[in-house]
Protein backbone atom coordinates (compact mmCIF):
# COMPACT_ATOMS: atom_id res chain seq x y z
CA UNK A 1 0.00 0.00 0.00
CA UNK A 2 1.33 3.44 -0.97
CA UNK A 3 0.49 6.20 1.48
CA UNK A 4 0.94 9.97 1.24
CA UNK A 5 1.71 10.66 4.90
CA UNK A 6 1.35 14.43 4.70
CA UNK A 7 -1.19 16.57 2.87
CA UNK A 8 -3.77 19.24 3.70
CA UNK A 9 -7.36 20.22 2.96
CA UNK A 10 -8.98 23.58 3.47
CA UNK A 11 -11.90 25.78 2.52
CA UNK A 12 -10.05 28.99 1.78
CA UNK A 13 -10.81 32.00 3.93
CA UNK A 14 -8.52 35.05 3.60
CA UNK A 15 -8.78 35.85 7.31
CA UNK A 16 -8.40 32.34 8.69
CA UNK A 17 -5.73 31.50 6.11
CA UNK A 18 -3.75 34.73 6.33
CA UNK A 19 -0.54 32.70 6.09
CA UNK A 20 -1.37 32.21 2.41
CA UNK A 21 0.10 35.51 1.21
CA UNK A 22 -0.31 37.10 -2.22
CA UNK A 23 2.85 35.44 -3.54
CA UNK A 24 1.00 32.16 -2.93
CA UNK A 25 -2.06 32.92 -5.06
CA UNK A 26 -2.19 29.36 -6.38
CA UNK A 27 -3.21 28.32 -2.85
CA UNK A 28 -5.95 30.94 -2.43
CA UNK A 29 -8.83 28.57 -3.15
CA UNK A 30 -10.50 25.47 -1.72
CA UNK A 31 -8.56 22.20 -1.70
CA UNK A 32 -10.78 19.23 -0.91
CA UNK A 33 -10.83 15.44 -1.40
CA UNK A 34 -12.41 15.78 -4.84
CA UNK A 35 -9.24 17.63 -5.91
CA UNK A 36 -6.77 15.18 -4.41
CA UNK A 37 -8.23 11.77 -5.21
CA UNK A 38 -7.54 11.94 -8.99
CA UNK A 39 -3.91 12.86 -8.23
CA UNK A 40 -3.50 9.92 -5.89
CA UNK A 41 -4.92 7.57 -8.52
CA UNK A 42 -2.62 8.94 -11.24
CA UNK A 43 0.40 8.38 -9.01
CA UNK A 44 -0.61 4.95 -7.69
CA UNK A 45 -1.11 6.22 -4.14
CA UNK A 46 -3.72 4.25 -2.21
CA UNK A 47 -4.45 6.64 0.64
CA UNK A 48 -3.30 9.62 2.66
CA UNK A 49 -2.94 11.20 6.07
CA UNK A 50 -4.60 14.62 6.34
CA UNK A 51 -2.63 17.04 8.52
CA UNK A 52 -3.95 20.17 10.22
CA UNK A 53 -3.22 23.56 8.67
CA UNK A 54 -5.15 25.67 11.20
CA UNK A 55 -4.80 25.67 14.98
CA UNK A 56 -8.33 24.99 16.16
CA UNK A 57 -10.45 22.04 17.18
CA UNK A 58 -12.79 23.04 14.37
CA UNK A 59 -9.97 22.07 12.00
CA UNK A 60 -9.68 18.67 13.65
CA UNK A 61 -13.45 18.14 13.33
CA UNK A 62 -13.34 19.27 9.67
CA UNK A 63 -10.62 16.75 8.79
CA UNK A 64 -12.38 13.97 10.69
CA UNK A 65 -15.56 14.69 8.75
CA UNK A 66 -13.70 14.42 5.44
CA UNK A 67 -12.03 11.21 6.60
CA UNK A 68 -15.40 9.79 7.52
CA UNK A 69 -16.70 10.53 4.02
CA UNK A 70 -13.65 9.15 2.16
CA UNK A 71 -12.24 5.72 2.98
CA UNK A 72 -8.92 6.56 1.31
CA UNK A 73 -8.22 9.28 3.91
CA UNK A 74 -6.66 6.74 6.24
CA UNK A 75 -5.75 9.03 9.12
CA UNK A 76 -5.91 12.55 10.52
CA UNK A 77 -3.27 14.56 12.37
CA UNK A 78 -5.32 17.22 14.11
CA UNK A 79 -4.80 20.05 16.55
CA UNK A 80 -5.65 20.36 20.21
CA UNK A 81 -4.39 22.89 22.73
CA UNK A 82 -1.62 20.85 24.32
CA UNK A 83 -1.05 23.54 26.95
CA UNK A 84 -4.69 23.65 28.08
CA UNK A 85 -5.69 22.77 31.64
CA UNK A 86 -8.54 20.62 30.29
CA UNK A 87 -6.34 18.69 27.85
CA UNK A 88 -7.09 15.32 29.46
CA UNK A 89 -10.79 15.80 28.84
CA UNK A 90 -10.17 16.82 25.22
CA UNK A 91 -7.94 13.80 24.59
CA UNK A 92 -10.60 11.51 26.03
CA UNK A 93 -13.11 13.13 23.67
CA UNK A 94 -10.91 12.72 20.59
CA UNK A 95 -9.93 9.15 21.46
CA UNK A 96 -13.36 8.00 20.22
CA UNK A 97 -12.34 8.72 16.61
CA UNK A 98 -10.51 5.76 15.09
CA UNK A 99 -9.06 7.82 12.25
CA UNK A 100 -7.57 10.49 14.53
CA UNK A 101 -3.97 9.32 14.78
CA UNK A 102 -2.17 12.24 16.37
CA UNK A 103 -1.68 15.96 16.74
CA UNK A 104 0.53 18.78 15.52
CA UNK A 105 1.28 22.30 16.68
CA UNK A 106 2.71 24.89 14.28
CA UNK A 107 5.85 25.40 16.33
CA UNK A 108 7.64 27.05 13.39
CA UNK A 109 5.37 30.10 13.92
CA UNK A 110 6.19 30.44 17.62
CA UNK A 111 8.51 33.39 18.39
CA UNK A 112 10.49 31.48 21.01
CA UNK A 113 12.97 29.10 19.39
CA UNK A 114 12.78 26.83 22.46
CA UNK A 115 8.97 26.74 22.55
CA UNK A 116 9.00 22.92 22.55
CA UNK A 117 10.67 22.96 25.97
CA UNK A 118 8.00 25.10 27.65
CA UNK A 119 6.62 23.43 30.76
CA UNK A 120 2.90 23.52 29.94
CA UNK A 121 3.47 22.20 26.42
CA UNK A 122 5.64 19.32 27.63
CA UNK A 123 3.04 18.51 30.28
CA UNK A 124 0.57 18.11 27.42
CA UNK A 125 2.88 15.98 25.28
CA UNK A 126 3.32 13.64 28.25
CA UNK A 127 -0.37 12.73 28.05
CA UNK A 128 -0.44 11.68 24.39
CA UNK A 129 1.08 8.21 24.64
CA UNK A 130 -1.66 7.07 27.03
CA UNK A 131 -4.09 7.43 24.11
CA UNK A 132 -1.62 6.14 21.47
CA UNK A 133 -1.57 9.55 19.76
CA UNK A 134 1.46 10.48 17.66
CA UNK A 135 3.00 13.96 17.51
CA UNK A 136 4.25 15.72 14.34
CA UNK A 137 7.18 18.07 14.98
CA UNK A 138 7.03 21.13 12.67
CA UNK A 139 10.10 23.33 13.16
CA UNK A 140 12.58 25.47 11.29
CA UNK A 141 16.33 24.69 11.54
CA UNK A 142 16.76 27.46 14.15
CA UNK A 143 14.37 25.53 16.41
CA UNK A 144 15.67 22.06 15.56
CA UNK A 145 18.55 22.20 18.05
CA UNK A 146 16.01 22.10 20.89
CA UNK A 147 14.31 18.96 19.58
CA UNK A 148 16.78 16.40 21.08
CA UNK A 149 16.19 17.75 24.60
CA UNK A 150 12.46 17.75 23.87
CA UNK A 151 12.12 14.16 22.61
CA UNK A 152 14.52 12.87 25.30
CA UNK A 153 11.81 13.54 27.88
CA UNK A 154 9.32 11.19 26.19
CA UNK A 155 10.89 7.82 25.27
CA UNK A 156 7.46 6.18 24.88
CA UNK A 157 6.02 8.88 22.59
CA UNK A 158 6.02 8.39 18.81
CA UNK A 159 7.34 11.50 17.03
CA UNK A 160 7.84 12.38 13.37
CA UNK A 161 9.76 15.37 12.00
CA UNK A 162 7.80 17.14 9.25
CA UNK A 163 9.53 18.23 6.03
CA UNK A 164 13.08 17.29 7.11
CA UNK A 165 12.79 20.27 9.50
CA UNK A 166 12.91 22.58 6.47
CA UNK A 167 16.62 22.83 5.58
CA UNK A 168 17.72 25.94 3.70
CA UNK A 169 18.00 24.62 0.16
CA UNK A 170 18.29 28.11 -1.33
CA UNK A 171 21.56 28.95 0.42
CA UNK A 172 22.61 25.31 0.86
CA UNK A 173 23.40 26.13 4.50
CA UNK A 174 23.20 22.66 6.02
CA UNK A 175 25.87 22.34 8.73
CA UNK A 176 23.83 23.35 11.79
CA UNK A 177 20.75 21.60 10.41
CA UNK A 178 22.68 18.39 9.72
CA UNK A 179 24.26 18.22 13.18
CA UNK A 180 20.91 18.77 14.86
CA UNK A 181 19.16 16.24 12.62
CA UNK A 182 21.71 13.57 13.47
CA UNK A 183 21.21 14.29 17.18
CA UNK A 184 17.43 13.94 16.79
CA UNK A 185 17.76 10.69 14.84
CA UNK A 186 19.67 9.15 17.76
CA UNK A 187 16.28 8.73 19.47
CA UNK A 188 14.65 5.59 18.04
CA UNK A 189 11.09 6.83 18.65
CA UNK A 190 11.56 9.72 16.18
CA UNK A 191 10.74 9.32 12.46
CA UNK A 192 11.15 11.78 9.58
CA UNK A 193 8.89 12.75 6.68
CA UNK A 194 10.51 13.05 3.28
CA UNK A 195 8.24 15.92 2.33
CA UNK A 196 8.05 19.67 1.87
CA UNK A 197 11.37 20.02 0.07
CA UNK A 198 10.43 21.83 -3.15
CA UNK A 199 8.85 24.76 -1.29
CA UNK A 200 12.04 25.33 0.73
CA UNK A 201 14.07 25.58 -2.49
CA UNK A 202 13.79 28.22 -5.20
CA UNK A 203 10.23 27.72 -6.43
CA UNK A 204 11.09 28.40 -10.06
CA UNK A 205 14.59 27.01 -10.54
CA UNK A 206 15.02 24.03 -8.18
CA UNK A 207 16.56 20.83 -9.46
CA UNK A 208 16.46 17.31 -8.03
CA UNK A 209 20.16 17.60 -7.22
CA UNK A 210 19.36 20.41 -4.74
CA UNK A 211 17.96 17.82 -2.34
CA UNK A 212 20.58 15.05 -2.60
CA UNK A 213 22.79 16.07 0.32
CA UNK A 214 19.95 16.46 2.81
CA UNK A 215 18.38 13.21 1.68
CA UNK A 216 21.75 11.55 2.21
CA UNK A 217 21.86 12.94 5.76
CA UNK A 218 18.38 11.83 6.83
CA UNK A 219 18.63 8.44 5.13
CA UNK A 220 21.91 7.68 6.89
CA UNK A 221 20.75 9.13 10.22
CA UNK A 222 17.24 7.65 10.45
CA UNK A 223 17.58 4.60 8.21
CA UNK A 224 14.97 3.52 5.70
CA UNK A 225 12.70 2.11 8.45
CA UNK A 226 11.99 5.57 9.89
CA UNK A 227 11.36 7.60 6.72
CA UNK A 228 7.85 8.40 5.43
CA UNK A 229 6.89 9.83 2.04
CA UNK A 230 4.70 12.93 2.08
CA UNK A 231 3.64 15.26 -0.75
CA UNK A 232 2.72 18.34 1.31
CA UNK A 233 -0.04 18.89 -1.26
CA UNK A 234 -1.39 21.46 -1.98
CA UNK A 235 1.42 23.59 -0.54
CA UNK A 236 3.81 21.81 -2.92
CA UNK A 237 1.97 23.48 -5.83
CA UNK A 238 3.93 26.66 -5.10
CA UNK A 239 6.91 24.95 -6.68
CA UNK A 240 5.86 21.62 -8.23
CA UNK A 241 2.95 19.47 -9.32
CA UNK A 242 1.95 16.42 -7.30
CA UNK A 243 3.69 14.18 -9.82
CA UNK A 244 6.89 16.25 -9.78
CA UNK A 245 6.91 16.09 -5.99
CA UNK A 246 6.61 12.30 -6.14
CA UNK A 247 9.33 12.17 -8.78
CA UNK A 248 11.87 13.94 -6.55
CA UNK A 249 11.45 11.18 -3.98
CA UNK A 250 11.28 8.40 -6.55
CA UNK A 251 14.48 9.49 -8.29
CA UNK A 252 16.47 9.46 -5.06
CA UNK A 253 15.14 6.19 -3.64
CA UNK A 254 15.07 4.18 -6.88
CA UNK A 255 18.56 2.95 -5.95
CA UNK A 256 17.08 1.13 -2.93
CA UNK A 257 15.62 -2.38 -2.97
CA UNK A 258 11.92 -2.85 -3.70
CA UNK A 259 11.38 -3.86 -0.06
CA UNK A 260 13.08 -0.68 1.16
CA UNK A 261 11.13 1.46 -1.27
CA UNK A 262 7.93 -0.18 -0.05
CA UNK A 263 8.74 0.92 3.48
CA UNK A 264 9.31 4.55 2.47
CA UNK A 265 6.24 4.74 0.21
CA UNK A 266 3.77 3.15 2.56
CA UNK A 267 4.67 0.55 5.16
CA UNK A 268 6.40 2.99 7.51
CA UNK A 269 3.39 5.34 7.44
CA UNK A 270 1.00 2.43 8.07
CA UNK A 271 3.11 1.31 11.04
CA UNK A 272 3.74 4.78 12.49
CA UNK A 273 0.15 6.03 12.29
CA UNK A 274 -1.48 2.61 12.85
CA UNK A 275 -3.47 3.00 9.63
List, for the chain, all residue ranges whose pLDDT scores fall below the cut of 50. none
The whole-number pLDDT of residue 186 equals: 98
The whole-number pLDDT of residue 102 equals: 98
The whole-number pLDDT of residue 182 equals: 98
Q: How far apart are the first and last CA of the chain?
A: 11
Task: Say whether pTM exceeds 0.85.
Answer: yes
The whole-number pLDDT of residue 245 equals: 98
The whole-number pLDDT of residue 107 equals: 98
The whole-number pLDDT of residue 191 equals: 98
The whole-number pLDDT of residue 127 equals: 98
The whole-number pLDDT of residue 78 equals: 98
- Please, which residues have CB within 8 angstroms of residue 192's CB and are 6 or more apart in sequence? 160, 161, 164, 181, 185, 218, 222, 226, 227, 228
The whole-number pLDDT of residue 202 equals: 97
Residue by residue, what is the 3-state secondary structure of 30-82? CECHHHHHHHHHHCCCCEEEEECCCCCHHHHHHHHHHHHHCCCEEEEEECCCC
pLDDT digits (tens, 9 = 90+) for 141-161: 999 999 999 999 999 999 999
CA-based radius of gyration for the chain: 17
Amino acid sequence: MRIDSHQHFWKYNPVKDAWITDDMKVLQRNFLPVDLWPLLQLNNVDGCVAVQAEQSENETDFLLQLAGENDWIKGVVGWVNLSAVNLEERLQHFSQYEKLKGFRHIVQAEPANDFLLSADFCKGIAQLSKYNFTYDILVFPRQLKYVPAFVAQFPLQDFVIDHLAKPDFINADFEEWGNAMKAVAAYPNVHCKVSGMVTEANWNTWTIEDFSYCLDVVTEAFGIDRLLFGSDWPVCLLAASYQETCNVVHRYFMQFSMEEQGKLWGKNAVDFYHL
